Amino acid sequence: MTEHTVVPPLGTSIISVRNVLAFAGLYLVYYVLRALYNISPLHPLSGIPGPKLAGATYWMEFYYDVIKNGCYTKEIRKMHEKYGPIVRISPHEVHCNDISFADEIYAVGGRKRDKPVHQINGSV
């Protein structure tokens, strides 16, 4: 009769090359699916114009801030020239350079917001 044990035999480890590669593969699949969701019509910010790469991942922001030494603000200005006054600059950020939209964004005065404050600030 064979004996079944729960404890792995001596000399084996949970951290093996196969397990690390499997975990890396699963993470890559998750990252790609998340990026596809960010630019899909199902995402709440999908209707806002802007570069697809900026809407899908944070790589564009990383590139201009780290590789190009903090030039993302200049790139945002170029995005506004190309896409208009409201631009999606990352998967969860929208940039507005038109003061006439301030009342719509911040609901000043006696107007009420249709979302709780924690959703407006992005800390859902």
Residue-wise pLDDT tens digits, 105-115: 776 666 666 66
Tell me what pLDDT residue 108 has: 60
Contacts 24+ apart (CB under 8 A), 17-22: none
**Structure-token match 């590669």, residue found:** 21
Cβ–Cβ < 8 Å for 63, 52: no
Position 120 pLDDT exceeds 80: no
Q: Give the span between the Cα atoms of 63 and 69, in whole angstroms.
A: 9
Position 83 pLDDT exceeds 90: yes
Task: Name the band, by pLDDT with cuts 50, 70 and 90, for residue 123.
Answer: very low
Position 78 pLDDT exceeds 70: yes
Q: Across residues 74-83, what is the average pLDDT?
A: 94
Tell me what pLDDT residue 64 has: 94
Cβ–Cβ < 8 Å for 124, 86: no
* Whole-number average pLDDT of the chain: 83
